[in-house]
Amino acid sequence: MTILSVNQVCKTFKTNNGGQIRAVDEVHLSIAENDFVCIVGPSGCGKSTLLRIAAGLEPASSGDIRFRGQEIKKPHPHIGMVFQEYSLFPWLPVIDNVASGPEFSGMKKMERIELAQHYLEVVGMSEFADAFPHELSGGMRQRVAIARAFANDPKILLMDEPFGSLDAHTRILLQKELLRIWETHRKTILFVTHSVDEAVYLADRVVIMSARPGKVKEILKIDMGRPRSRANPSYGELTDRILQQLEHEVIGFQN
Amino acid sequence: MKSQVTSILIPIIVPILLIIIWIFAAFKIGNQVILPPIDNVLNLLVNPTEQIISMGSLASNITVSLVRVLMGYLLAAFIGIPLGVIMGYYALVFRLMNTFLNVFRPIPPLAWVPLVMAWFGIASMATALGIETGNLYIYLNNLKFSMIFIIFIGGFYPILTSSIHGVASVNQTLIDSARVLGANEFQVFHKVLLPAAMPSIINGLRIGLGISWMCLVSAEMLPGSISGVGYLITHAYTLASTDIVIAGMISIGIVGMAMDKIFHYIENRRYAWQRLAR
């Protein structure tokens, strides 16, 4: 069942000196419900832009993205998003951050605090309910950001390099955490990343984008059972295949 | 133990040095009008409620000054904050107002005096409320529009600028997060933009208060002024009472410093997150 369809989406930006940059060029994608899809691509290939259009934060220049057939023109309650950093509200303690979504939709205080506490437990941050974001490490903040997005109970979760600013160990830890949470709270996930290793570890399908203007180069199916082992030869083969595709793009772009 | 002692001792060293120099210099110069002996000044400061040669007491004059500054300053805040926030939020309003406001920004409050006198004369709160006699008249007549305007101009620009900056520099990710979580325009404004801009706005309020307080002396030099610590200073000079002048100046300094400290306290208690989040 297709839950999200990206239909011939183009996005052009105007530059400061009057020129135009085509960030995304005729991207066409179909995301099935409860699929975990990763988008990888060289820098500037428009993957974040695509995500922002899906989130309703920006309009496409042409084409559209549809959620269950309905065109997305502004942020949708069933589509959540996790950003790379600086997304938690620094003036609120963790518990109130997580309860933000329900607060915006008018849920009463006691109810939403209870809801927030539940999701804090899911991400393993219950002890830090009263802490402020600046008191937390990067990994902890991202856990809270995930809890906050989950608390709104979206059907689709968009994730824009959520682990990109974390160190290698924390990153791997959170990858496992995310999959664990996903086991019990199934959602459709569209995950943008630079890291090919991360994409192969997490995704059912990997969408490889070309350099700017971004087009879909290839969509690879990852047929390994979870939890995936990096010792599995298929893991290495898939990673290598994706890296080769990307290398072409990066070198080609530099020429 | 040692660090406690040194932390109190170190800030005191320079003032004590200054006092020693003063005592010595006053003795050497021997002229009260140039540099009065320190005990004259201390006497005035320690007995603030004693009447000073038909000019009221130090305490009552400081009170009148505080009320004036409060009026001008609050006016600056009530106009500056909303205007700044709207200018920071709506690019159109910014483009509309910014150039116009920037023309007047470099004009020192003191330069407004001739115009202000032409506009307001010696009109005061008493004039506005139609009160012409009695104690209320005496009190309200002290709050001259001309003075309040000068004080207002002093506080207005720091407050305006910091409000604009506070709103305009809110991290886009915070706004995006709120919108994606389902906040409508009003909620984004009220629950995200304003809290995020608050540290900058409070900082501007602190600076604005400092400048408003400094404008006090210029404001109280205007004709029709018969009270206030600025008046005290300018008129004590005509009576060759330099000790009153110095006591007045020190009072201005102490009150100004106290107000600044209060703001710092507020900033640190409630807005620590901003400093620590960087």
Q: ipTM score of the complex?
A: 0.92
Assign residue B269 the CATH number of its domain.
1.10.3720.10
Please indicate, yes or no, whether residues A186 and A250 belong to a single structural domain of this protein. yes
pLDDT in tens, A218-254: 999 999 988 899 999 999 999 999 999 998 887 766 6
Q: Which residue of A has its CA nearest to B181?
A: A101
B110, pLDDT greater than 60? yes
Please indicate, yes or no, whether residues B26 and B128 belong to a single structural domain of this protein. no
Q: A183-187, B82-86, B229-233: lowest mean pLDDT where?
A: B229-233
Q: A128-142, A177-191, B15-29, B208-222: lowest mean pLDDT where?
A: B208-222
Assign residue A25 the CATH number of its domain.
3.40.50.300
Residues of B in contact with A103 (CB under 8 A): 191
Cβ density class B85-114: b for 16+ within 10 Å, e for less: bbbbbeeeebeebeeebeeeeeeebeebbe
Q: Does B30 touch chain A (CB under 8 A)?
A: no
Please indicate, yes or no, whether residues A73 and A118 belong to a single structural domain of this protein. no
Residues of A in contact with B184 (CB under 8 A): 104
Domains of chain B: total? 2
Closest-CA residue to B198 (of B262, B259, B105, B269): B269
Please indicate, yes or no, whether residues B101 and B168 belong to a single structural domain of this protein. yes
Task: For residue B181, give the nearest of A86, A91, A101 by CB distance.
Answer: A101
Q: Which residue of A has its CA nearest to B185?
A: A104
The alpha carbon dihedral of A128, A132, A135, A140 has a sign of positive
Pairing of strands A205-209, A216-221: antiparallel
pLDDT in the model for residue A103: 95
Please indicate, yes or no, whether residues B237 and B103 belong to a single structural domain of this protein. yes
pLDDT in the model for residue A253: 61
Q: Do A134 and B277 touch (CB under 8 A)?
A: yes
The alpha carbon dihedral of A216, A217, A220, A226 has a sign of negative
For chain B, the average pLDDT equals: 87
Please indicate, yes or no, whether residues A164 and A249 belong to a single structural domain of this protein. yes
pLDDT in tens, B42-86: 888 888 888 777 778 888 888 889 998 999 999 999 999 999 999
Q: Does A132 touch chain B (CB under 8 A)?
A: yes
Q: Does B180 touch chain A (CB under 8 A)?
A: yes
pLDDT in the model for residue A84: 93
A95, pLDDT greater than 70? yes
Please indicate, yes or no, whether residues B107 and B17 belong to a single structural domain of this protein. no
> How much is the average pLDDT of B106-110?
89
- Which of A57, A74, A78, A91 should we substitute to test contact with B (largest number of B Cβ atoms within 10 Å)? A91
Q: Do A91 and B195 touch (CB under 8 A)?
A: yes
Please indicate, yes or no, whether residues A56 and A169 belong to a single structural domain of this protein. yes
> How much is the average pLDDT of A22-33?
92
Q: Nearest CA to CA, how far is B168 from chain A (Å)? A: 16
Range(s) of the domain holding residue B19: 1-30
Please indicate, yes or no, whether residues B109 and B125 belong to a single structural domain of this protein. yes
Please indicate, yes or no, whether residues B109 and B210 belong to a single structural domain of this protein. yes
pLDDT in the model for residue B211: 93
Please indicate, yes or no, whether residues B72 and B171 belong to a single structural domain of this protein. yes
Domain end among A124, A153, A182? A153
pLDDT in tens, B238-255: 888 888 889 888 989 999
Please indicate, yes or no, whether residues B186 and B240 belong to a single structural domain of this protein. yes
Closest-CA residue to B179 (of A28, A159, A100): A100
Please indicate, yes or no, whether residues B21 and B94 belong to a single structural domain of this protein. no
Range(s) of the domain holding residue A105: 88-153
Residue A83 domain-assigned (yes or no) = no
Angle (deg, nearest 10), helices B58-89 and B229-238: 130
Q: Do B182 and A77 touch (CB under 8 A)?
A: yes
CA terminus-to-terminus distance, chain A: 41
pLDDT in the model for residue B276: 62
Q: Does B184 touch chain A (CB under 8 A)?
A: yes
Q: Do B177 and A87 touch (CB under 8 A)?
A: yes
Q: A110-114, B25-29, B174-178: lowest mean pLDDT where?
A: B25-29
For chain A, the average pLDDT equals: 92
pLDDT in the model for residue A128: 96
pLDDT in tens, B181-229: 999 999 999 999 999 999 999 999 999 999 999 888 778 877 677 888 8
Domain end among A153, A170, A196? A153
> How much is the average pLDDT of A66-87?
94
Please indicate, yes or no, whether residues A140 and A218 belong to a single structural domain of this protein. no
Q: Does A253 touch chain B (CB under 8 A)?
A: no
Domains of chain A: total? 2
- Which of B170, B179, B181 should we substitute to test contact with A (largest number of A Cβ atoms within 10 Å)? B181
Please indicate, yes or no, whether residues B20 and B139 belong to a single structural domain of this protein. no
